Structure 1
Amino acid sequence: MAERSEELVDGVLRKATSEVGLDVEYVRAEGNTLFARGRDGSEVPVSDYLGGFGALLLGHNHPDLVAGLVDRLRRGAPVLTQLSLAPQANEVVDTLNRVLRREFGVDEPYFGVFANSGAEGVEVAVKHAELDRALRAAELLAEVDANADAALAAPGAEVDASALGLPAGTPVAEVVALLRERNAATLADPPRLVALEGGFHGKLMGSGQLTHNPDYRLPFTPLGARALFAPADADGLRAVLEGARATVHDLRVTADRIEVVPRDAPVFCALLLEPVQGEGGIVPLPAEFAKRVQELSAEFGCPVVVDEIQSGAGRTGAFFAASQLGLLGDYVVLSKSLGGGLAKLSVTLVRASRYRAEFEMLHSSTFGKDGLSTSVAAAVLDLLEADGGALYRVVAERGERLGAALRAVRDDHPDVIADVRGLGLLRGVEFADLSTSGSALAADLQAQGRFGFLASGYLLHEHRVRLFPTGSAPSTLRLQPSVQVTDEEIDRLATGLRALCALLRDGDDAGLTAFAGARAF
């Protein structure tokens, strides 16, 4: 077969990564280490701080997970048995409920809905929230209609329709007709979806419109429900919610009086947020803001979807990062690390008081809740929960060790590194404005939103450290290593960052790009 003359899979991406030395082939992986194919055919070990965009908390090819997976395949265990018992899926949801009770102190159970990826899990949450909203709206209209019928049956009663702007003496039939018309128009408006500025919830048709970055969102805006974006502060969020609320009108009927009264319309579908914004630059939500979110949610009747796709399943030193902020969602979306780096799945947890059983007949997936991925997720939970949750404590300790090393680099180079932030093993290093640095190359690339890629290429080839910038904050490097990251690897990362900062400080563009002419892999 003749060789193709062009790249037909990720050709544009391949070209872009090639320019900064990230076009590397990895041939083997274990723990926190990837092995790149060297130019001489050797295997070159690289410390993996990208961690599958956060999916590899337990490391590459964890031996217990691999053994369980191989055993299951050798036994010929079924993978796809739709519309039958799903014991592994039930085990996963049972365990997650035990963790919810422990970390949040709640007794109310959560139902689980499985899908294939985090973005799909977000869409499950939003679709379910919209079903719940629509059913609540229908229940409200039925109640209003019953009161309207009662009003029509009391023609002699005094009518106060000032809330509709109607004068005294307006006939009941006219009041009821206008009330029904206006209520129907109000509830026919699109639902209000609110998300936070800087948030990222996926790139599917629906979830893409909940992602703040306009580069991802605007090309497809005509296809999806549009979101309202609020800042991560209580006053700003209140203002957005206040501006989006709506009113329907009901009738209070007594023996001799009919009064039109306003009621809040159920127009809010959901408020979506991440406990730690990942693509937005590894930005933890302030705990005080998280507390206010709960209050505002209750006040405006707006359910909260907590996106724990990157931050959940142990990455921050607790199973749920939101538990460290005291933020209990009505919906919680998990994915990434829940699959142990071997399975693709998500589970959306739905508070029982909001759960609608009808949803099971309206949303399904061929591969959701399959026996293979749910068995891996069950094994991941066993590892996380073993020995009284010892692994969470290791994550916290490793995260603090990593954070301390990063802060020391920042303290040594405050003119180059603006901030170090994050929780557990989810950390970000934000570079300062480099326009006044000695490096014309770095300043130019930062202005184009490409400096983080150059920094990643330099660290990969010169220091054998693999990382990447965040999608919506390209001057922030993301660090999501596994729990197996060693002191030696952390020190090597710190050494590499110090060397990078020195090159930027000294304006040594030749040093920044020397790897391009002497690549080992």
Structure 2
Amino acid sequence: MTAPTRTRTSADLIRAEEPVLAHNYHPLPVVVARAEGAWVEDVEGRRYLDLLAGYSALNFGHRHPALIEAAHAQLDRLTLTSRAFHNDRLASFAERLVELVGQDMMLPMNTGAEAVESGVKLARKWAYDVKGVPADRATIVVAADNFHGRTTTIVGFSTDESARAGFGPFTPGFRIVPYNDLAALEAAVDETTAAVLIEPIQGEAGVLIPDDGYLTGVRELTSRAGCLFVADEIQSGLGRTGRTLAVDHEDVVPDLVLLGKALGGGIVPVSAVVGRREVLGVLRPGEHGSTFGGNPLAAAVGCAVLDLLETGEFQLRATELGAVLREGLTDLVGRGVVGFRSRGLWAGVDIDPALGTGRDISERLMRAGILVKDTHGSTIRIAPPLTITEEELRGALASLEKVLTETAAG
């Protein structure tokens, strides 16, 4: 008689990963098996409120019914053709995406890093073909403490040694200046500059928000210098900050916008470079591509995401719930929180280092049924799905207060 198969516990599954998965992540010790809305459930049936939302990939929550329906319907019809052929979903996705962000053309890709790499290639090609920069002399100016992805080109212009160390030699052609410093940026731009590439809000660095007028200054400087403004909105875009794009807070229109994460609704990886025809028009057949970029399943889900964004409902929710988040965090300053930065439904919260690291606090919150993720030092990030209710958000803030109070009490 065959013995019944034992269900693997969370501890079993975590141990099973150790010998067979590369150790490039240090996840919290929770094993998610099911999810819906703002809630996830582990293998044992314990429920947690998700305040990370897949680093904003799940802006519309886990398994949003409209997105799941769109994916199911497309799965029954067509999933992939490659770009060797046309498909019947891509044109609508492209038309609607460029209209939403006020641009001319788009280049579909899959992951955020691919969108950044594509933006770098486009900026260089534009610099040679349009601006007239001598061959192989183009430079791109980036900001310190950036996070644009994990490819070798991208980590080469990171200032995070844990991302860089051991992966050189690095691609040349990048100049790094302090974030939120227009004078330093202007000093770094010259006749070889193809583009300035920045995050309107630096997410991985701890949700660093620049001074009012910084993005306007970047736009004016790049226009004056005859180079491109490339905005990496992969985390900050698509409703997270209370506007469709974070640059919309200053009514700034970049030359290229990099999108990803929430564009795939947490279902499939979808990214895009959206921008001016003069820039995207430099590409010719054979110069860039992706087998899965623009596939019909991605386009169908992307269109369903645009359905949600076009109503403005989620941008408004991020604004209104962002005020609740800000109020709750303000009340905690001096009581375990030493400071925070927030815009819309997104915050970087600096915990008193005397209470522990960001990892320590994240683990304590996990045990209280709240999922967040640490970044550098004692900072944690809060970015719940935009579908979270006010009651759920206030409950999470109460849990944070309790964890901080209990930790301080020893």
TM exceeding 0.5: yes
* Inter-partner Cα distance in structure 1 for 2:168 and 2:276: 30
* Inter-partner Cα distance in structure 2 for 1:78 and 1:26: 27
Shift of 1:360: 4.1
Percent identical among aligned pairs is 29
Task: Determine the structure 1 residue equivalent to 2:202.
Answer: 277
Task: Determine the structure 2 residue equivalent to 1:431.
Answer: 351
1:465 aligns with 2:370: yes
- What SS is found at the alignment partner of 1:271? strand
Structure with greater helix share of residues:
1
* Inter-partner Cα distance in structure 1 for 2:63 and 2:81: 23
Task: Determine the structure 1 residue equivalent to 2:212.
Answer: 287
Shift of 1:288: 1.1
2:397 to 494, 499, 505: 494
Shift of 1:329: 1.0
Task: Determine the structure 2 residue equivalent to 1:191.
Answer: 138
Query: For each residue in 1:109-163, what CA deviation from the matched residue of structure 2 results, as whole angstroms up to 9, or x when unmatched?
Result: 421101110110011011011111122365x7xxxxxxxxxxxxxxxxxxxxxxx
Task: Determine the structure 1 residue equivalent to 2:84.
Answer: 83
* Contact 2:59–2:240 (Cα < 8 Å) also in 1: yes
1:401 aligns with 2:321: no
- What SS is found at the alignment partner of 2:167? helix
The residue correspondences of 1:23-34 to structure 2 (distance < 5 A) are 23-34=29-40
* Inter-partner Cα distance in structure 2 for 1:274 and 1:477: 19
RMSD of aligned residue pairs (Cα, Å)? 2.2
Task: Determine the structure 2 residue equivalent to 1:249.
Answer: none
Shift of 1:45: 1.0
Shift of 1:24: 1.6
* Inter-partner Cα distance in structure 1 for 2:16 and 2:282: 53
Task: Determine the structure 1 residue equivalent to 2:43.
Answer: 37
* Contact 2:142–2:198 (Cα < 8 Å) also in 1: yes
2:166 to 219, 225, 228: 219
* Inter-partner Cα distance in structure 2 for 1:220 and 1:11: 16
Query: For each residue in 1:222-277, what CA deviation from the matched residue of structure 2 results, as whole angstroms up to 9, or x when unmatched?
Result: 13235211121211212222xxx2xxxxxxxxxxxxxxxxxxx4x11221111111
Shift of 1:393: 1.2
Task: Determine the structure 2 residue equivalent to 1:379.
Answer: 304
Alpha carbons of 1:306 and 1:464: their partners in 2 closer, same or farther (altered >3 Å)?
same
* Contact 1:465–1:493 (Cα < 8 Å) also in 2: yes
Aligned pair count?
Answer: 396
Task: Determine the structure 1 residue equivalent to 2:186.
Answer: 238
Task: Determine the structure 2 residue equivalent to 1:132.
Answer: 126
Query: For each residue in 1:351-409, what CA deviation from the matched residue of structure 2 results, as whole angstroms up to 9, or x when unmatched?
Result: 123233434430001111100011100111012213xx223212211222122112212
Moved more, 311-320 or 358-367: 358-367
* Contact 1:290–1:326 (Cα < 8 Å) also in 2: no
- What SS is found at the alignment partner of 1:219? coil
Query: For each residue in 1:24-56, what CA deviation from the matched residue of structure 2 results, as whole angstroms up to 9, or x when unmatched?
Result: 211100000000122xxxx11100011111100
1:418 aligns with 2:343: no
* Contact 1:271–1:303 (Cα < 8 Å) also in 2: yes
Shift of 1:95: 1.6
* Inter-partner Cα distance in structure 2 for 1:377 and 1:229: 33
Greater C-alpha radius of gyration: 1
Query: For each residue in 1:468-493, what CA deviation from the matched residue of structure 2 results, as whole angstroms up to 9, or x when unmatched?
Result: 012xx332211111122123322232
Structure 2: unaligned runs, 5 residues or longer: 1-11
* Contact 2:98–2:106 (Cα < 8 Å) also in 1: no
Structure 1: unaligned runs, 5 residues or longer: 102-108, 141-186, 246-264, 443-450, 509-521
* Inter-partner Cα distance in structure 2 for 1:77 and 1:454: 46
2:288 to 363, 366, 378: 363
* Contact 2:200–2:247 (Cα < 8 Å) also in 1: yes
Query: For each residue in 1:402-448, what CA deviation from the matched residue of structure 2 results, as whole angstroms up to 9, or x when unmatched?
Result: 221122122x51xx32222121122111124x3xx4x5xx3xxxxxx
* Inter-partner Cα distance in structure 2 for 1:282 and 1:390: 23
Task: Determine the structure 2 residue equivalent to 1:112.
Answer: 106
